[in-house]
Copies of this chain bind each other. A is one copy, B any other.
């Protein structure tokens, strides 16, 4: 239970001033920064460059919402069961932001960073993973085939704005490697270009998981606002229950 000195660098409130990352919140930041710029500052201590802001907006928009995913369904059921607690329903939805539904950007970032650091051939890495029975993160999607339109759009904008660097190149190399090793093309899903672009733009490693969680919170809030106006949570629960048979 050791811990470093108990210091925080994020913010402090005084009676007449709130300071965030060394700046005056009301005198400087409010009205000047967009929420996306402020999120970058909060997370990293730095205001973003133009490209960092553009691509942070882009990746947040790309993954905030994707239909009635399990997290949105679970959140709507939770609000239906406890209508007074919007925060409880949001929390329930965020709890499903695990690797199956959301979390592969983080794994993709790790894969790309290791490949970049080691200089190893993606084909070799994919072969190794396959031999070990491990999946290569960032490939395959239950709905999007043969292409994930969001992934393609991120790559396209990265090229257009000359933001593509070595990690975007590696992402494409992994796509070819997966195809070559498995003998068939697999959808490169949105997680891979998100990780690649964020690494090429110098985002801190922690951002690879933080960004999807913030994005999904926006989607959850939209579903829960709709649920408050036109409730379908109990109907969703009934449909789910009906799909299951009880056996002794």
Contact = CB atoms under 8 A, between A and B. Distances in A.
Interface in A39-78: 39, 42-43, 54, 56-58, 60-62, 64-71, 73-74, 77-78
A100 B87 contact: no
Nearest to A152: B26
Interface in A216-247: 217-219, 221-226, 228-247
A162 interface: no
Interface of A: 1, 3-22, 25-27, 29-31, 33-36, 38-39, 42-43, 54, 56-58, 60-62, 64-71, 73-74, 77-78, 80-92, 94-103, 142-145, 147, 149-150, 152-154, 157, 204, 206-207, 209-210, 213-215, 217-219, 221-226, 228-248
A62 to B, nearest CB: 5
B210 A224 contact: yes
A83 B61 contact: no
A229 B100 CA distance: 17
How many monomers of this protein are in the complex?
4
8 contacts: A7-B246, A8-B246, A10-B246, A19-B246, A68-B240, A73-B241, A82-B85, A237-B240
User: Looking at A6, A71, A147, which has the most chain B CB atoms within 10 Å of its CB?
Assistant: A6
B222 A10 contact: yes
A35 to B, nearest CB: 4
Contacts of A71: 77-78, 81
Given A15-B143, A88-B91, A81 B66 contact: no
A73 B229 CA distance: 22
A48 to B, nearest CB: 12
Given A18-B150, A57-B35, A67-B13, A98 B81 contact: yes
Given A29-B61, A67-B13, A73-B240, A95 B84 contact: no
B98 A145 contact: no
Nearest to A243: B239
A235 B6 contact: yes
Contact of A8 (B60, B157, B226): B226
